[in-house]
Amino acid sequence: MAESPAQTTQAGQAAPSPLLGAIKEELDREMAVIGKADPPAYFLSYTVTDGDRSEVTGSNGALLSSQEQRSRWLEGQVRVGSYQLDNTHRVGNDGPGFPGSFGEPVPIDDDPAVLKRAMWRETETQYRAAAEAFIKVKTGKDVQVQTVAQGAPDFSQEKPQVYYGPRASYALDRHPWEDKVRQYTHSFRASAAVLNSIVTFRAEAQNQYQVTSEGTKVQFGGIRYRLELFIQGKASDGMDLERYYNFDWTDPASAPDDKTVLAQCAVIQKELESLVQAPLAEPYAGPAMLTGRAAAVFFHEVFGHRDEGFRQKDINEGQTFAGKVGELLLPNFISIVDDPTAAKLGSTVLLGNYPFDDEGIASQKVTLVDHGVLRNFEMSRQPLNGFPQSNGHGRRQVGLPPESRQGNLIVESSYKVANTRLRQMFIGEIKRQNKPYGLFFDDISGGFTFTGRSQPQAFHVEPLVVYRVYADGRPDELVRGVAIVGTPLVSLQKIMATGDTTEVFNGYCGAESGSVPVAAAAPPLLVSEMEVEKKQTSTDRPPILPPPAHDPQANDPQTKVN
């Protein structure tokens, strides 16, 4: 018999933290009362998030800040009613009732009495808010029409999870990183095009302790390191320009060395200098090619957000994919999985890795699209008709209620050609459509997508590095000032082929449940038609004077006044 995710995590467990015992004692005391109140609570959970964070930031060759922080945050959740109908139920166009509290800070000392007192306050606030919301839910159901989707249960019944992972911690001397951020940002001062540079190093260990009235008791943690390079410039027409790059790792021994970082600094500096001089692109619709990193962001925005389970149930959402399960959504050579169990893809760290989600459910690899056919959604404990269980994708930023969110979105292809061959096919498609050029997207910073029913079901993706690729053999030309736009159901069908090298984009995604770490991975894409529009721009002129180090007069000894 196949083992469940909970059973497969039992080997090599650590001793349970004293925090779990204190939480369990107070939970039992509280539940014995609110479980018999009117209306009765049927579910109670507590989560304590313990965070250690170090951050070093430099700018233009100098240190801006260097700090460490330790904190703990307590969150409680009370559900009143039943699994079928509770206080979170969406009635008509109204969203779920806001929680009575977003949690509160608690001492970092392991003092059970102080922690229990905070839990008591949190439960009182949460229960009162839940009881009031449940009364409104029952009243609203009598006077407002419910959709079929809203008839699904409000909360899924899951097998309790018990897991005690080791405490995640790191030892760090910030002083070497203070010297590094000075060095890295100083390297940008050689360019007059770089108006500002910021480099930030972060180390973070986060441990989570969760106990529920269903019997779940989990403790787990993780460590992340990140180095971010960011520079800004401005074109002569006032357009603000920026280049960004980040390194992510989880093992201190895997930190990038100075040579690697400075080489990347030189790359983004050269790109920014070229963008400052690049011509503005015009609105365009035609063949396009995306590198794997750009394609990964494209799938995250265009497909991933629309596949999040809660969007299929909310009447205010466009529900683009709600009725498409079993239908061909993409070309039949494309498959998509979301696998938060994966810590790496090849040698690249995946930021969307976690052992349990923020509802205490073990993470799972889920096939979302199988050879073009939509099969599943990223599910939290908010069930859908036909999808009664969570698959471990209930996620949130600390202090916000969990929603179904992406983890590691990985795009796979059964029609892969060498990248050089993909470019040849790209040029052939440009000629076939009798276009003077196509657009090649080398890097994308992110974007946003409209999923609400009151808005057009469209996406907007912000490319950073875009080239015109000419059909007549002229060299590729860097351009600026465009944004990719379109609608998902049409755009996803325009994919013609993929390259053979998968690339990873790591980032932090902001949505309804806050900012969460995610990864997306994809091979390069050839698309028969992609539309771009001019992006919004500033009209402020560039600085009147050049930077001091690049001002000939300021550096001319004969012009200096004693």
CA 436 → CA 275, 285, 382, 431, 471, distances in Å?
22, 12, 49, 8, 6
pLDDT of the residue at 5 = 41
Tens digit of each residue's pLDDT (9 = 90 or more) over 197-239: 999 999 999 999 999 999 999 999 999 999 999 999 999 989 9
Q: What is the pLDDT of residues 461-476, one digit of tens each?
A: 888 899 999 999 899 9
Identify the CA nearest to 524 among candidates 299, 333, 288, 291: 291
State the average pLDDT over residues 387-413. 96
What confidence score (pLDDT) does residue 318 get? 60
pLDDT in tens, 356-373: 999 999 999 999 999 999
List beta partners, residue 267: none
Dist. CA 284–CA 424, nearest whole Å: 21
- With beta carbons less than 8 A apart as the criterion, state whether 466 and 441 touch: yes
pLDDT band at 96 (very low <50, low <70, confident <90, very high): low
pLDDT at residue 2 is higher than 90: no
Name the pLDDT band for 3 (thresholds 50, 70, 90): very low
Fold of 11-277: PmbA/TldD fold (3.30.2290)
List the single range of 4-13, 22-31, 136-145, 544-553 with lowest mean pLDDT. Answer: 4-13
pLDDT above 50: residue 9:
no
Identify the CA nearest to 103 among candidates 386, 397, 380.
397
Q: What is the pLDDT of residue 92?
A: 64
What gap in Å lies between CA 468 and CA 236, rounded to an integer? Answer: 21
As a whole number, mean pLDDT of residues 102-107 equals 93
Domain regions of the chain by residue span: 11-277, 284-534
Pairing of strands 240-249, 284-290: unpaired
pLDDT above 70 for 545: yes
How far is the C-alpha of 521 from the C-alpha of 503, rounded, in Å? 5
* Three-class SS state of 138: helix
What would the pLDDT profile of 143-153 be if each residue is shown by its tens digit? 555 565 667 89
Q: What 3-state DSSP class applies to 15?
A: coil
At 552, is the pLDDT very low, low, confident or very high (cuts 50, 70, 90)? confident
- In this structure, the strands spanning 514-522 and 408-413 are parallel
Tell how strand 477-479 and strand 514-522 pair up.
unpaired
How many Å apart are CA 513 and CA 254, to the nearest integer?
31
Q: Contact 365/337 with Cβ under 8 angstroms?
A: yes
- What b-and-e string marks burial along 2-35, b requiring 16 or more CB atoms within 10 Å of the CB? eeebbeebeeeeeebbebbebbbebbeebbeebe
| pLDDT-wise least confident of 273-287, 343-357, 399-413, 527-541 | 527-541
Residue-level pLDDT at 489 = 85
Residue of 301, 239, 295 lying closest to 440 (CA atoms): 295
What is the chain's mean pLDDT, rounded? 90
The predicted model gives 441-453 an average pLDDT of 67
Going by C-alpha positions, the residue among 490, 521, 481, 488 that lies closest to residue 503 is: 521
- pLDDT range class, residue 454, cuts 50, 70, 90: very low
Three-state DSSP state, 321: coil
CA distance 451 to 479: 30
